[in-house]
Chains A and B, each alone.
Chain A
Amino acid sequence: MSAHVFRTGMSGYRFGDGRTLLARASPARAGDQLAGLAARSAEERVAAQMCLAELPLAHFLDEPVVPYETDDVTRLILDGFDRAAFAPVSHLTVGDFRDWLLDHGTDGATIASLARGLTPEMVAAVSKIMRIQDMVLVARKVRVVTRFRNTLGLPGRLSARLQPNHPTDDARGIAASVLDGLLYGCGDAVIGINPATDNVGQVVRLLGMLDEIISTHEIPTQSCVLTHVTTTMEAIRRGAPVDLVFQSIGGTQAANESFGVTLAMLGEARDMARALGRGTVGSSVMYFDTGQGSALSADAHHGVDQQTIETRAYAVARAFDPLLVNSVVGFIGPEYLNGREILRAGAEDHFCGKLLGLPMGVDVCYTNHADADQDDVDTLLTLLGCAGVNYVMGVPGADDIMLSYQSTSFHDTLYLREVLGLRPAPEFEAWLQAHRVMDADARLLPASAEHPLLGLARP
């Protein structure tokens, strides 16, 4: 195909192919720099963005960024492409698409109806020429509602994953964190443990424990032990009470191979979990996490920038009707995303996922070798709340003692609900009120030493 050429005054820029154009147009990222893909000057980046704005959306159908023949994610994207859904915007350039998304005449339902007619590359491209406020405005138009034992993603709602990790999977330690979270009004997205090991026996034990808590107290939520998909499948074979199947995924076949997963495996796991019939109001059983930079760290990026590859991972997720998807945006470390790059990456991931029709949450987080702190967390959390994020993480005191990183806390969830007037998922909200955790105004009630939930951590 012909090269993309941009001329301005004295200098001219030539971008050999679409993949290079996308990478040069991508906002600054440590990981793209590390991979040698980033724009070599500030001017080159904007030149690439101007060139990208002129490109027809349909161009991405003709020139895949990763070859169709050798990559099953590309095949998934192109074989599943819905030409009829694409028709309303098929004549637009990337730049015109941005203007159309922002137009007051374009409502959320219209954008949502496009989802199967958009490829990740189209969505990543438009995000690269959008400011954060553009992505907030468009993302908040779109609601993606999913159901298992409650209803997630409704307007005016904000849910939280309760993340009660413990470095040795100690049952009472985990239970103590679970009750802490529930009494702070969190856990409606999922009560999800990252186990310390992938040992199947351990995973089965943790699943049984969470199932008992949820059924004893009739909590309208779901549980998950975030282990490898094959371990969850083995747990199902052993009769464990599995609500959701978790897996980390990436945007290329090679990235998924580095996680030890195939698309067929994900489909099989989804069918096994669905067959258990444990959902009460819906049957979305998949929980995926993703994150910019994972393909580079697995040497599986094919010369594609990390934000475009991340968006391709959402095409994998949407093929399996997930209940929950989140980017673990600051976890990977400063060599991929540093300081303020985490902020923009979080906004991009949420926006791109929503446009592709996913129930997006974000793990707003950072490690101690990144140049980030709690103020950065507050900033990204607040902007994601404005953008209509489905859920965030709830870690006791924001300090995950097993994964050694900082995420958002139960207090942070309360903050965001309070400042934006948001409430938990409706079924969970009713349960919190019935159990005297929260009042009708979604404010926490004073905790009583006799509260029945305190029994959770007794032997």
Chain B
Amino acid sequence: MKRVGRRAPTASDPWAHLREFTSARIALGRAGSSLPTRALLEFQLAHARARDAVHRVLDVDDFAARLAAEGLSCLTVHSAAADRDTFIARPDLGRVLDEASAARLDAWREQNGARDVALIVADGLSATAVESRAPELLRHVVGQLGALPCTLAPIVVAGQGRVALSDEIGQRLGARIAAIVLGERPGLSSPDSLGIYLTYAPRPGRSNAERNCISNVRPPEGLSYEVAAHRLRHLANEAMRRGLSGVSLKDEAPLLAGIDAPSRVAWRGDAPGD
């Protein structure tokens, strides 16, 4: 058999310059009908990072200590989902606190009284996003919410938490508003995106239609921390003024390009961070 060349033949596509207009994986070229080795392995790397982000466990005590070191006081809690596999298989357990956490929040409120705003940070589906981005986002958020005429509870750091965990936490703290920052379901090109969900009068049983969402917080490709925090202040202020959150509040908020829930996601009833 004839010896093959040092580099096996692959066909490249003469429209690679169009990648300027989209981050879609176009003009990948081919080996026969198949992906060239490089494109294949780049995909595998992106998927590996997304999987690692989903399975990474947030060390809540360590993360709370990081926030405390920056002058942000914290409480730590855990959902009723004991580990990562349970969290993924049982969304219902990620939406309620375990007993010890519930008791801790009740005791805190007993001692300190109710506050207007409960601010929560949870791993959601990407602890990677929380570890790398949440401290800076929270600094902006606390700064913005501090400018409103309202009282703020200590930041609640929650392990194995989904969006609706903020309902129980907010209720136990007697808050008028719950805002939860959490890691969104990782996409192949975005393993570290944060979402923020705001709920007026939080209590278990609230639906996603009663919340407002700020999605894709992920500078520089996605939303900046400044814009996200500013938007949250606007929503929180309006929610307290009008006594509601959700669809009717969203209608009046200015649209931000690219953050509306895609139609196929919406009909499945799954919020990106949920």
Contact = CB atoms under 8 A, between A and B. Distances in A.
B241 interface: no
A332 B35 CA distance: 27
A225 B264 CA distance: 12
A166 B34 contact: no
B102 interface: no
B253 interface: no
A446 interface: yes
- Among A172, A176, A289, A414, max chain B CB count under 10 A is at A176
A27 B272 CA distance: 29
B114 to A, nearest CB: 31
Contact of A396 (B26, B53, B92, B265): B26
A294 B89 contact: no
Contact of B263 (A226, A298, A367): A226
Given A259-B267, A334-B89, A398 B43 contact: yes
Given A164-B24, A396-B24, A399-B25, A30 B269 contact: no
B37 interface: no
B231 to A, nearest CB: 17
A403 B262 contact: yes
A331 interface: yes
A198 interface: yes
Interface stretch (A58-66, A114-122, A344-352, A368-376): A368-376
Interface stretch (B139-147, B170-178, B182-190): B182-190
Contact of B257 (A168, A259, A403, A411): A168
Between A226, A368, A411, the greatest number of chain B beta carbons within 10 A of the residue's beta carbon is seen for: A368
B46 interface: yes
Contacts of A335: 88-91
A291, A332, A457 — which one has the most chain B CB atoms within 10 A of its CB?
A457
Nearest to A398: B43
A226 B266 CA distance: 13
A395 B18 CA distance: 16
A23 B80 CA distance: 27
B117 to A, nearest CB: 29
Contact of A30 (B24, B89, B272): B89
Contact of B268 (A228, A297, A457): A297
A183 interface: yes
Contacts of B268: 291, 294, 297, 331-333
Given A334-B89, A397-B39, A399-B46, A369 B125 contact: yes
B11 interface: yes
Contacts of B258: 167-168, 196
Contacts of B54: 368-369
Nearest to A171: B21
Contact of A177 (B24, B46, B188, B265): B24
A373 B92 CA distance: 25
A180 B27 contact: yes
A447 B13 contact: yes
Interface in B154-200: 185-191
A398 B185 contact: no
B18 A176 contact: yes
A399 B24 contact: yes
A177 B90 contact: no
A14 to B, nearest CB: 28
A151 interface: no
Given A368-B51, A397-B43, A406 B188 contact: yes
B83 interface: no
Contact of A170 (B13, B21, B90, B186): B21
Nearest to A289: B264
B33 interface: yes
B102 to A, nearest CB: 23
A259 B265 CA distance: 12
Interface residues of A, number: 71
Nearest to B26: A180
B260 A176 contact: no
B18 A402 contact: no
A17 interface: no
Nearest to B125: A369
Interface string A371-409: 001100000000000000000000111110111111001
Contacts, number: 176
Interface string B230-265: 000000000000000000000000010110101111
A10 interface: no
A1 to B, nearest CB: 32
Interface string A403-423: 111100101001101100000
A401 B23 contact: yes
Contacts of B92: 34
Given A168-B257, A449-B14, A402 B30 contact: no
B273 to A, nearest CB: 11
A183 B47 contact: no
A189 to B, nearest CB: 17
Given A297-B270, A446-B11, A176 B188 contact: no
Contacts of B34: 411, 414-415
A248 interface: yes
B263 A195 contact: yes
A197 interface: yes
A49 interface: no
Contacts of A166: 22, 24
Contacts of A226: 263-264
A334 B88 contact: yes
A447 B14 contact: yes
Given A369-B54, A454-B14, A173 B22 contact: yes
Nearest to B221: A167
Contacts of A369: 54, 88, 125, 185-186
Contacts of A195: 262-263
A68 B88 CA distance: 36
29 contacts: A34-B89, A168-B258, A173-B21, A176-B15, A176-B24, A180-B15, A248-B264, A258-B269, A297-B269, A297-B270, A367-B185, A368-B47, A368-B51, A368-B54, A369-B125, A396-B25, A396-B26, A397-B26, A397-B28, A401-B22, A401-B23, A402-B262, A403-B262, A404-B186, A411-B30, A418-B32, A446-B11, A454-B14, A457-B15
In the A-B complex, list the 9 residue pairs whose CB atoms are closest, starting with the nearest: A397-B25, A404-B187, A173-B22, A414-B33, A449-B14, A176-B18, A368-B50, A180-B26, A172-B21
Interface of B: 11, 13-15, 18-19, 21-28, 30, 32-35, 39, 43-44, 46-47, 50-51, 53-54, 88-92, 125, 185-191, 255, 257-258, 260, 262-265, 267-270, 272
